[in-house]
Structure 1
């Protein structure tokens, strides 16, 4: 809240913001109980961990992370697969479906490749050990795009913490108690939120800039160097 006010030109003390928030009982949204969507595939033990919990990168399109989560919709589930650039925390690709088949993660990866201009050879894509990420379809897609696969340890959410953090933020900010009433409404919310997240949502790890603004400033500094 303090960073948002300062970013809009209002000079205000952080403690004053904290005091006013307490006075008016304004608090952030809380985490909900997590439903696990990962079904580990023992055959994936040969895929190396190229990140080893180091969620930093020297430039865009060096390291991506991805995962799948669920959104409750009218007594059913809608599944969301994501691709996030580690450098800027930018959501560069995503896909939604009412299933968790391999095509869901393939579609998310293909969307990210399109957003980044079609040439991403050498980028590392890090995921958990879900069967979708070890499927022949996803393996072939990575090979076609020149993407290097990476996976964390089985059953360790910390090995894909950046993707987990993204989902926690999304659910806190767009998902009401009980979920959305219709699939169309849920899809609309998921379509709107990435634009806000990429263009406006501030990240402490980025100096309280949004992912897009962080990439722009980094590009300008690199060009001036």
Structure 2
């Protein structure tokens, strides 16, 4: 007889809060937390029954389709359009960066990873790991990328989903300071940020899912090890089976 997987109360509460916040779809949250979509729906339904005053909160639902599908919740923020428009293969580096945040569990709680990817060569050009999923986390990942790669930020676009970290004034002011153009996905449409989502999926399925983390520092060590492998050793079919660093060097020679 198959045993039902048990989840602790902290995980349930974290998942419910993220689902009700609405910055990510239920499918994305379930995938990030390694739980089933239906399990998360059940938790949220129970939460609503127990808290009827909050029952009007709408979930962002985005199931992975078997064929192209356009989501009815696909709205841009009024003042931040989707400049990227799924153009995931720009001809140059340091022109199109994308960012996102994912969640990694340890025995002491949650760790949050913010990354910045250059779409030109699919390299993780900056990242930050924190115990708090706030705008400061997203900002530090961006600043780290700028400091390391020194792009002409007046020619740079930064794309993300509509997460609260990226709509916060702290993050938007950082973009404005460096004269970076901000672009945002339509609400609830995970395909607008597909390349960055694919990196998180690879990180977890190829490495993290086989590990158990005793604390936050063990998460940091593992993530840094994988990013080093991903940038320098992992061949990527989207860039002619080169590594991201090899592709960057190739593009710099042709520039």
Alignment match of 2:97 (pick from 64, 76, 80): 64
Counterpart of 1:157 in structure 2 is 190
Cα gap change, 1:208/1:43 in structure 2, threshold over 3 Å: closer, same or farther?
Answer: closer
Q: What is the DSSP-based 3-state SS (H/G/I as helix, E as strand, rest coil) of the residue aligned with 2:81?
A: coil
The alignment status of 1:34 with 2:67, answered yes or no, reads no
- Give CA-to-partner distance per residue, 1:49-92, whole Å, 9 cap, x none: 00111111120111001100001111511000010000000000
Q: In 2 relative to 1, CA 122–221 (structure 1 residues): closer, same or farther, beyond 3 Å?
A: closer
- Match among 126, 133, 149 for residue 93 of structure 1: 126
Q: Distance in 2 between matches of 1:178 and 1:77?
A: 15
What SS does the corresponding residue of 2:115 show, helix, strand or coil?
strand
Identify if the C-alpha distance between structure 1 residues 74 and 213 changes in structure 2 by more than 3 Å, giving closer, same or farther.
same
Count of matched residue pairs: 188
* Structure 1 segment 1-225 matched on structure 2, within 5 A: 33-35=30-32, 44-74=77-107, 76-117=109-150, 119-177=152-210, 179-222=212-255
| Residue-by-residue CA offset, 1:95-142 (whole Å, 9 max, x unaligned) | 110111110000001001011126422201000001110101001100
- 2:224 is paired with a residue of what secondary structure? helix
Q: Is contact 1:123–1:148 with CA below 8 Å preserved after alignment?
A: yes
Q: Per the alignment, do residues 123 and 105 of structure 1 end up closer, same or farther by CA in structure 2, a change over 3 Å counting?
A: same
Aligned equivalents of 1:187, 1:172: Cα separation in 2: 17
Q: Please give the TM-score of this superposition, normalised by the length of structure 2.
A: 0.69
Indicate if the aligned counterparts of 1:202 and 1:208 stay in contact, CA closer than 8 A: yes
Structure 1, unmatched stretches of 5+, are 1-31
Q: Which runs of 5+ in 2 are unaligned?
A: 1-28, 34-58, 61-74
Q: Distance in 2 between matches of 1:105 and 1:69?
A: 11
User: Which residue is equivalent to 1:29?
Assistant: none
Per-residue CA deviations over 1:5-45 (Å, capped at 9, x if unaligned) read xxxxxxxxxxxxxxxxxxxxxxxxxxx95147xx98x9943
Verify the 8 A CA contact 1:44 1:134 in the aligned structure 2: no
Maintained 8 Å contact 1:70/1:78: yes
Inter-CA distance 53–119: structure 2 relative to 1 (3 Å threshold): closer
Q: Does the residue aligned with 1:45 lie in a helix, a strand or coil?
A: coil
Residue 192 of structure 1, CA deviation: 1.5
Deviation at 1:193, TM superposition (A): 1.4
Residues 143-175 of structure 1: per-residue CA shift (max 9 Å, x gap): 111111000110010010011001001111221
Q: CA-atom RMSD, angstroms?
A: 2.2
* Aligned twin of 1:20: none
